[in-house]
Amino acid sequence: MCGCENKSRFWGFLMTGLLAVSLFLPAVRAEGATAAFEELFEEIGADEITDNVFNLVGKTITVITAGRIGEHNSMAASWGGFGILFDKPATWCFLSASRFTLEKMQAEGSYTFSWFPDEYKEDVLFFGGKSGRDSDKMKESKLTPVATPSGLATYAEARLVIECRLVEVTTVAPDDFRTEESRKFIEDGRKTAPDYHKIALGEIAKVWRKKPR
Ligand SMILES: Cc1cc2nc3c(=O)[nH]c(=O)nc-3n(C[C@H](O)[C@H](O)[C@H](O)COP(=O)(O)O)c2cc1C
């Protein structure tokens, strides 16, 4: 057998090996991420959330994350809440039409809400400082992304995670607002966004809390 045949066989093996590894690795990584998630979090029912909603949403900051893990984008949010919609536990949030996270929520149809212990306040605020549309904010974040079993993104440092299925996105109309303060907010918001604010309604698909250590 001549040397060139050996060489081409070597390159053939190498290329097949590389192809196999490149196909296999993402699956291993995804499985690893899910395993990590299940080690960190335990599933609970929406009715087992013990936080007072006015403290959870009003005093701590919600991180909304949309997009499959690896392509995800997170923002800080303070306006939103919980309730029952179409007989199911649901969430709502009030978002400027300019949010990149909103764009990803609409593209993916699902997203997560995450809440963190106070020690991560700076990391959480970081998501509210600039848009992921025109910055490397997701690469700069020090938090550890982890995939939920359905492949959405949250963070290993979170203490409570809610996965939502997007039910409806409404664009608000300034004339519908009855107080001067709210109407002004809506009109002002439109000046820096492509549209009026949006209200996103989501059905709660899953709730997880951090496992006790
Ligand atoms: C504490 C805090 C709360 C915020 N709450 C909201 C909110 O409820 N709705 C909203 O549209 N933007 C809110 N923002 C602004 C967004 O987080 C911010 O514009 C972010 O850069 C958007 O990122 P994105 O374009 O990558 O989605 C908040 C920012 C901070 C710091």
Mutate to test the pocket of ligand 1, among 56, 62, 78 (most ligand atoms within 8 A of CB): 78
C-alpha to C-alpha distances, 16 to 2, 9, 186, nearest whole angstrom: 22, 11, 57
**Nearest residue to 175 (alpha-carbon basis) of 166, 165, 186:** 186
pLDDT tens column, 61-81: 999 999 999 999 999 999 999
Ligand 1 atom nearest 137 alpha carbon: 26
Place of tokens 């306040």: 121
Q: Tell me, in angstroms, the distance from the centre of ligand 1 to residue 69's CA.
A: 20
Q: Tell me, in angstroms, the distance from the centre of ligand 1 to residue 211's CA.
A: 28
DSSP per position, 29-97: HHHHHHHHHHHHEEEE-GGG--S-HHHHTTTSPEEEEESBTTS-EEEEE--EEEEEETTEEEEEEEE-T
Q: Tell me, in angstroms, the distance from the centre of ligand 1 to residue 100's CA.
A: 10
Residue 178 pLDDT > 60, yes or no?
A: yes
Q: What's the CATH number of domain 42-210, 2.70.150.10, 3.30.390.30, 2.30.110.10, 2.30.30.90?
A: 2.30.110.10
Quote the pTM value.
0.87
Residue 212 pLDDT > 80, yes or no?
A: yes
Cα(43)–Cα(205) distance, integer angstroms: 11
Average pLDDT estimate for 83-111: 98
**Nearest residue to 122 (alpha-carbon basis) of 141, 147, 101, 99:** 141
Ligand 1 atom nearest 96 alpha carbon: 11
Our answer on whether the CB atom of 65 is closer than 6 Å to any ligand 1 atom is: no
Average pLDDT estimate for 176-200: 98
Q: Whose CA is nearest to atom 10 of ligand 1?
A: 95
Q: Which phi and psi angles does 36 have, rounded to 5°?
A: -60, -40
Which are the contacts of 43, defined by CB distance < 8 A and separation ≥ 6? 206, 207, 208
Q: Tell me, in angstroms, the distance from the centre of ligand 1 to residue 212's CA.
A: 30
Residue 9: the pLDDT is 62
β-pairing verdict for 73-77 and 198-210: unpaired
